[in-house]
Amino acid sequence: MFTGAPLVPSKPPTVERMLKLLNLKKGQILYDLGSGDGKILITAAKQGAQGIGIEINPYAVLLSWVLAILAGVVKSVHFEWGNYWQHSLSAADAVVVYAMPQFMPRLAVKLQKELKKGTRIVSNTFTIPQLKLVKQERVGFDKVYLYEI
């Protein structure tokens, strides 16, 4: 049995906008919490970032690895089968999350506790209370929110 949010991949235009908002530099580390099919990290790796995805669904983790191999970025990304509540995020330069709203207050506490000052966070669709909102944008029917620690 799996816990967590359902697997709902971000749409390609939304992925592009999230990465643009994060403004990652070559070699920076992006964490994707609930990384699903891995496409956000694969896209970021093609742009020069390093990626770590944490996903509770083992089938999605396997799919992520296959897609990373096919995209030729397998050396720039790492996908872990697990629960992001049990992982340290301290190495992150940026974080992407597309999680259910009921998880966001607890996630805000984790992010504030573990991330270094200046770390940028982008959330797809749902706001993260208690974090400093820098910008919000609409992409089709989606909204993306940029925060900074």
**Domain architecture of the chain: domains with CATH:** 12-148 (3.40.50.150)
Distance, in Å, from the CA atom of 46 to the CA atom of 44, rounded to the nearest integer, reads 5
- Amino acid 99: pLDDT: 87
pLDDT at residue 5 tops 90 = no
Q: How far apart are CA 44 and CA 82, in angstroms?
A: 21
37 pLDDT more than 70: yes
Q: Per 3-state DSSP, what percentage of the chain is helix, strand, and coil (rounded to 5)?
A: 35, 25, 40
Task: Give the length of the chain.
Answer: 149
In the prediction, which pLDDT does 1 show? 44
The C-alpha angle with vertex 35 and arms to 46 and 52, in degrees rounded to 5, equals 60
Look-up of token digits 């929110």: 145
pLDDT per residue over 116-133, tens digit each?
Answer: 999 999 999 999 999 999
The pLDDT assigned to 3 comes to 54
Average pLDDT over residues 49-59: 96
Q: What is the pTM of this model?
A: 0.93
